[in-house]
């Protein structure tokens, strides 16, 4: 730059925009691909830099044209220096050489930072796709027509209707895929391949749309966001678009093309046979295209499509950082009363910054808490035995180091904030008005820890199991049916039996149809009728007078045996209670002595409460001192307000281990309701819920020591 006659570079791309009623100019440097914005007044100053005027002359001309502003030579010189720092002015040959060396140094530094950057948001540039988009754009212009949008939007609506009609099947499939609970290893390889392909097409959608509206895309690559592998396309040129709608189309293009792909794969999935390879791949692609866009890309709290769409819609650049800075400013000044340089914003930005800043802070805290809990659970499960504990601490060191590399600036920021706050308020901390109440509070907390007591409770889960199970078995073979036919002779009323049904001893709980028994009953009934008719027609003194009674007795005996077999088809309950555990299907063949039902008396149910090793000793000791009547239990089922009461009858060791600890079970019997506040009749075997065992009181100090002992024992 000539010291006396600065000149604005001619290769700069300048775009005029109107945001919130104010005129702005976005300037793009084609060499560094960096952007900056200027107000209308600042642009007027820049346009005066034509290489023929000095700072004094430009200040004089500007003041004449804009008498409402007072601008002298020093002010103009400072503005020229800032423009030169942004590389907006023409450089001399020597300055260009220096800038080239500086740019090479910055490129090496940026590559180094890409290796050491934050794992929360880390970019790895790979290719320059500008030539690719230029070559395919003439053949893809039809994509940006209202006809294409209308057709594809209709396809999406139909696809969502198909998903809604098969919602349960789709939900189960999605859970199976994303919880890795079913499927062969090659299915997850295809899922991973589909994810990469879909994300690649997604980013091409952004890049091609940006190119269509006049922008240039010179960077695509790999992105690591919250440990989630992604791809990205640098479409920063969209900032230079004068129309807000063009910017929003660039942002939404990736998600829109994903929805189009999702609709196509939904049709393929609905039209192919379940279990085929094409059906599986289509379902995976359908879920990827739907879930990734809805739950991830369009989340405005992550710096992806949803965030940039919100920035463009609200016309607030750098929304995330500005919101966080504004919330920090309010907390420091309004809550802690610290003195800071004022941050003045209008009422609209005030509402936007507070809303987004608070939401972003809470989201970030929940994400980091989730990551920390996940890593802790992995560490806790891997630490087994003494050497496992040592390895666990080694792993913990590296995990904490990783977490610090991610959020290390937050503890340091908190430390600096506390340091500045204490320094600013040191007079207050030294005054009796502060340290006397602080000393009283400290003594009160210390006294509570040393002398205070609290109820000793153990909270865990329980599962209902029967103390006695009675089997109901068949006496004949045949075809089983839950529909009971009526029989007036036996006094049986027609009906249908189902699991969970309350029955009394002797009630019919299954009908086993045996055609041979039916035929035998009819045959013996006919033989008995013939024998009765024959004995009435016999002549006294004849040979038939001796044989006919014997034949009648034999026919009657055969008929009674057939009746017994016929009655055996009606399977009856051998005890009163509820029917459980049938796996029979209507019309299934059963054999003799096959178990059909199990009968459980609800009053004989017991609750098995899971106890960890650190809690077993407390319960056992309490039972030995106070007896079984002392260890009371309160239990509740999920979604139910009623609480059931019971007593711990015994404690035994289970066959499993959890978190490197032995697992025990406390068997609990139910107490009858004294005030009718709960009913045991609807309880079923297999139900589970939350249980709290009450075992007296203990000091606060002892509870803290026990917690620490249990934690360290679990690690080692």
For residue 154, what pLDDT is reported? 94
Q: Quick check: 404 pLDDT over 60?
A: no
Give dist(CA 104, CA 97) in Å, integer: 11
pLDDT class of 417 with cuts at 50, 70, 90: low
Name the token pair of 630: 């002392």
The mean pLDDT value for 522-526 works out to 86
pLDDT (mean) for 282-286: 88
Angle between helical axes of 277-291 and 244-271 (0-180°, round to 10): 150
Count CB atoms within 10 A of the CB of residue 452.
12
Mapping DSSP to helix (H, G, I), strand (E, B) and coil, where does residue 312 land?
helix
27 pLDDT higher than 80: yes
Give the C-alpha separation, 8 to 79, whole Å: 13
Contact call for residues 623 and 682 (beta carbons, < 8 A) = no
Q: What is the pLDDT of residues 485-506, one digit of tens each?
A: 888 777 788 888 887 788 888 8
Contact between 61 and 44 under an 8 Å Cβ cutoff? The reply is: no
What is the per-residue DSSP string for 687-704? Answer: -EEEEEEEEEEEEHHHHH
Q: pLDDT higher for 545 or 173?
A: 173
The predicted model gives 705-715 an average pLDDT of 60
With a cut of 50, say whether residue 386 has pLDDT above it: no
Asked if pLDDT for residue 330 goes beyond 60, the answer is yes
C-alpha pair distances (Å), 315 with each of 13, 245, 630: 20, 12, 67
**Sorting pLDDT into bands at 50, 70 and 90, what band is 474?**
confident
Tokens of 460: 């865990």
- Assign 12 to helix, strand or coil: coil
- Report percent pLDDT > 90 for the chain: 8
Decide if pLDDT at 112 tops 50. no
Position with higher pLDDT, 206 vs 342: 206
All residues at 6 or more sequence positions from 478 whose CB lies less than 8 Å from its CB, including other chains: 512, 513, 514, 515, 517, 569, 589, 590
The H or E element spanning position 398 is helix 385-407
pLDDT at residue 114 above 80? no
Strands, E, within 400-557: which ranges?
Answer: 453-466, 470-473, 478-481, 483-484, 495-496, 502-503, 508-513
Q: Is the pTM of this model over 0.75?
A: no
Percent of residues, the chain, with pLDDT higher than 70: 77
Q: Write out pLDDT tens, residues 591-638.
A: 888 888 888 776 677 888 888 776 777 777 777 666 655 678 888 888
Judged by average pLDDT, the poorest of 155-159, 407-411, 501-505 is 407-411
- Residue 385, pLDDT score: 47
Residue 672 has pLDDT above 60, yes or no: yes
C-alpha closest to that of 12 among 48, 41, 39, 36:
36
Give the Cα separation of 610 and 631 in Å (integer): 15
Between the ranges 213-217, 296-300, 705-709, where is the mean pLDDT highest? Answer: 213-217
Distance from C-alpha of 190 to C-alpha of 213, rounded to nearest angstrom: 35
Residue 603 gets which letter from DSSP? G
Alpha helices in 166-291 (DSSP H): 167-178, 185-212, 244-271, 277-291
**Dist CA 80 CA 5 (whole Å):** 10
Degrees to nearest 5, angle at CA 308 with 307 and 309:
90
Q: How far apart are CA 417 and CA 335, in angstroms?
A: 13
Give counts: helices (H), strands (E), the chain: 21, 22
Q: Please state, in angstroms and rounded to a whole number, the distance separating the CA atoms of residues 281 and 183.
A: 12
Average pLDDT, the chain: 78
What is the Cα–Cα distance from 625 to 627, expressed in whole angstroms? 6
- Exposed, middle or buried, 104 (CB in 10 Å: 0-12/13-18/19+)? exposed
| Two tokens, residue 295 | 């739950």
CB 197, CB 261: distance < 8 Å: no
What does the pLDDT average to over 95-99?
Answer: 61
């Amino acid at each position: 730059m000539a010291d006396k006659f600065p000149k604005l570079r001619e290769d700069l791309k300048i775009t005029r925009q109107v945001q919130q009623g104010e005129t702005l100019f976005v300037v793009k440097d084609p060499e560094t691909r960096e952007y900056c914005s200027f107000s209308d007044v600042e642009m007027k100053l820049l346009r005066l830099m034509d290489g023929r005027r000095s700072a004094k002359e430009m200040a004089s001309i500007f003041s004449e044209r804009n008498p409402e502003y007072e601008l002298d030579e020093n002010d103009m010189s400072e503005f020229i220096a800032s423009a030169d720092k942004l590389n907006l002015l023409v450089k001399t040959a020597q300055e260009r050489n220096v800038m080239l060396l500086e740019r090479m140094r910055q490129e090496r530094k940026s590559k180094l930072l890409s290796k050491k950057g934050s794992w929360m948001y880390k970019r790895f540039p790979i290719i320059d796709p500008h030539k690719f988009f230029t070559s395919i754009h003439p053949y893809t212009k039809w994509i940006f027509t209202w006809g294409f949008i209308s057709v594809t939007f209709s396809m999406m609506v139909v696809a969502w209707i198909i998903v809604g009609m098969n919602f349960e099947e789709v939900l189960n499939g999605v859970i199976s895929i994303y919880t890795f609970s079913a499927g062969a290893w090659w299915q997850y390889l295809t899922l991973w391949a589909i994810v990469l392909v879909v994300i690649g097409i997604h980013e091409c959608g952004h890049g091609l749309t940006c190119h269509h509206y006049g922008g240039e895309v010179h960077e695509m690559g790999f992105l690591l966001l919250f440990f989630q592998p992604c791809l990205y396309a640098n479409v920063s040129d969209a900032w230079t678009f004068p129309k807000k709608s063009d910017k929003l189309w660039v942002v939404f293009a990736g998600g829109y093309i994903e929805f189009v792909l999702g609709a196509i794969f939904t049709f393929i999935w609905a039209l192919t046979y379940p279990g085929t390879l094409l059906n599986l791949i289509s379902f995976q692609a359908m879920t990827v295209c739907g879930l990734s866009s809805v739950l991830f890309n369009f989340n405005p709290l992550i710096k992806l499509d949803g965030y940039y769409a919100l920035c463009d819609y609200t016309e607030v650049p750098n929304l995330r950082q500005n919101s966080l800075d504004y919330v920090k400013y309010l907390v420091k000044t309004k809550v802690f009363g610290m003195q800071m340089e004022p941050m003045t914003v209008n009422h609209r930005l005030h509402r936007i910054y507070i809303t987004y800043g608070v939401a972003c802070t809470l989201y970030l805290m929940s994400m980091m808490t989730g990551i920390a809990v996940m890593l802790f659970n992995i560490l806790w499960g891997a630490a087994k035995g003494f050497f496992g504990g040592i390895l666990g601490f080694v792993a913990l060191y590296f995990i904490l180091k990783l977490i610090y590399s991610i959020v290390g600036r937050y503890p340091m920021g908190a430390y600096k904030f506390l340091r500045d706050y204490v320094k600013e308020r040191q007079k207050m901390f030294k005054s009796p008005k502060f340290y006397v109440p602080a000393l009283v509070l400290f003594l009160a907390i210390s006294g509570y820890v040393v002398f205070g007591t609290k109820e000793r409770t153990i909270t865990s889960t329980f599962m209902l199991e029967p103390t006695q199970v009675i089997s109901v078995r068949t006496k004949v073979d045949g075809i089983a049916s839950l529909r009971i036919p009526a029989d007036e002779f036996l006094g049986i009323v027609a009906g249908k039996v189902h699991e969970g049904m309350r029955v009394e001893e002797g009630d019919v709980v299954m009908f086993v149809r045996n055609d041979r028994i039916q035929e035998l009953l009819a045959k013996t009934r006919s033989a008995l009728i013939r024998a009765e008719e024959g004995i009435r027609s016999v002549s006294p003194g004849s040979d038939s007078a001796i044989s006919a009674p014997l034949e009648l007795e034999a026919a009657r005996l055969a008929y009674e045996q057939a009746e017994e077999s016929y009655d055996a088809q009606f399977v009856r309950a051998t005890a009163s209670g509820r029917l459980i555990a049938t796996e029979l299907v209507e019309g299934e063949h059963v054999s003799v002595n096959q178990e059909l039902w199990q009968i459980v008396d609800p009053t004989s149910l017991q609750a098995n409460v899971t106890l960890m090793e650190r809690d077993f000793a407390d319960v056992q000791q309490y039972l030995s001192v106070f007896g079984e009547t002392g260890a009371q239990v309160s239990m509740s089922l999920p979604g139910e307000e009623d609480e059931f009461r019971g007593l711990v009858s015994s404690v035994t060791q289970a066959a499993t281990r959890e978190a490197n600890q032995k697992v025990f079970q406390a068997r609990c019997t139910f107490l009858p309701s004294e005030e009718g506040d709960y009913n045991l009749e609807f309880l079923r075997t297999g139900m589970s819920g939350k249980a709290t065992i009450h075992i007296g009181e203990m000091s606060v100090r002892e509870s803290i020591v026990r917690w620490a002992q249990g934690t360290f024992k679990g690690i080692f």
